[in-house]
């Protein structure tokens, strides 16, 4: 095993101070790791009998219940316990050189869009995103381990090395719930992101790596954080996750496609954050009932 870098000195910091992120729209599994493969219409959500709206105040939801034949809705407020996810954002020098002075602005906008995903009414949970800091990956370590260029690296290899490094720089005065490593380019594989399953707040494995994809980066990060919070992939063969809110016609077609062994049925709108393949034309994405239940269970 290669020796880890001397971490007596902290890496170069770019943010200077913690930043709470305001939501801003822009926007496979192996053991305990979850990999996502991603590719780029908005449709009206089916009427469910009740609607959820953010009240603008963290932790509050306005619930409007419509009864059959009723002309006046019943309105009530419910308070949901708020959870804050503190993120450490790490970037490679390669990405820093490309974005230069625009890096902080770009990353803050990206994480703002991540926060927007976790404010979507379909999640029905109060989750805030806060950035602990933005730092550069140690250049000597990156050079020695080949972490500036991922084109000849497996995604799990990159994540393993990053997890070892980032856990060495953890301090009582600088802690986080999850650490993200971002880089431009590609993995040797088709993956665009990888994270440990149900690992949020773990001292050893709460880390993820993501390939930057501009507009879609926020959705990739939200997807991987979803895995850390216990959500699994939607639209998997043999699972109803993601289909529960699809029109019945499309559910029938999906069942037929299973019989014909087609891996991906284009008649299904994979419009959820936790879809194994993300089609950006379906933005904004919703959380499936399975994801909602798994995340709420993890947070409880």
CA–CA gap between residue 32 and residue 229 (Å, rounded): 13
Angstrom distance (rounded) from CA 31 to CA 21: 32
224 is a catalytic site residue: yes
> Is residue 96 annotated as involved in ligand binding?
no
Q: What does the alpha-carbon distance between residue 211 and residue 194 come to, in Å, rounded to a whole number?
A: 10
Q: 203-237 b/e with 16+ CB inside 10 Å = b?
A: eebbbbbbbbbeebbbbbbbbbbbbbbbbbbbbbe
CB 131 within 8 A of CB 8: no
- The total of other beta-carbon atoms located within 10 Å of residue 144's CB is 14
Beta-bridge partner residues of 52? 63
146 backbone φψ class: left, alpha, beta (φ>0; ψ -120 to 50): left
Can you tell me the distance from the alpha carbon of 40 to that of 246, in angstroms, rounded to the nearest whole number? Answer: 20
Spot the catalytic one: 86, 145, 157, 224.
Answer: 224
Which of 222, 223, 215, 213 shows the shortest CA–CA distance to 187?
A: 213
* DSSP-assigned letter for residue 35: E
Burial label for 155, CB within 10 Å (0-12, 13-18, 19+), is buried
Residue found under tokens 């060495």: 168
The tokens for 104 are 């902080």
Q: Report whether 227 belongs to an annotated binding site.
A: yes
Distance of alpha carbon 123 from alpha carbon 120, whole angstroms: 6
Q: Which residues belong to the active site?
A: 224
Please report, in range form, the residues annotated as the binding site for Zn(2+). Answer: 223, 227, 233
Please report, in range form, the residues annotated as the binding site. Answer: 223, 227, 233
């Amino acid at each position: 095993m290669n020796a880890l870098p001397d971490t007596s000195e902290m890496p170069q910091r770019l943010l200077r101070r913690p930043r709470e992120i305001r939501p801003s729209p822009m926007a496979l599994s192996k053991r305990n790791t979850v990999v996502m493969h991603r590719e780029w219409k908005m449709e009206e959500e089916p009427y469910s009998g009740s609607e959820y709206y953010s009240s603008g105040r963290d932790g509050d939801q306005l619930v409007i219940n419509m009864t059959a034949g009723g002309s006046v809705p019943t309105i009530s407020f419910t308070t949901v316990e708020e959870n804050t996810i503190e993120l450490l954002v790490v970037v490679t020098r390669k990405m820093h050189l490309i974005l230069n002075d625009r890096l902080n602005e770009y990353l803050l906008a990206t994480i703002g869009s991540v926060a927007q995903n976790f404010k979507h009414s379909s999640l029905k949970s109060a989750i805030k995103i806060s950035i602990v800091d933005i730092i550069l990956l140690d250049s000597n370590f990156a050079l020695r381990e080949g972490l500036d260029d991922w084109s000849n690296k497996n995604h799990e290899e990159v994540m393993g090395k990053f997890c070892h490094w980032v856990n060495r720089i953890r301090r009582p005065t600088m802690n986080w719930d999850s650490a993200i490593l971002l880089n431009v380019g590609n993995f040797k594989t088709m993956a665009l992101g990888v994270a440990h399953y149900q690992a949020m707040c773990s001292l050893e494995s709460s880390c993820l790596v993501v390939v930057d994809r501009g507009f879609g980066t926020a959705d990739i990060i939200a997807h991987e954080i979803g895995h850390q919070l216990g959500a699994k992939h939607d639209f998997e063969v043999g699972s109803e996750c993601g289909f529960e809110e699809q029109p019945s016609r499309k559910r029938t077609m999906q069942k037929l496609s299973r019989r014909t062994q087609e891996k991906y049925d284009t008649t299904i709108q994979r419009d959820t954050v936790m879809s194994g393949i993300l089609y950006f034309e379906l933005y904004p994405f919703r959380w499936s009932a399975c994801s909602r239940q798994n995340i709420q269970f993890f947070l409880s």
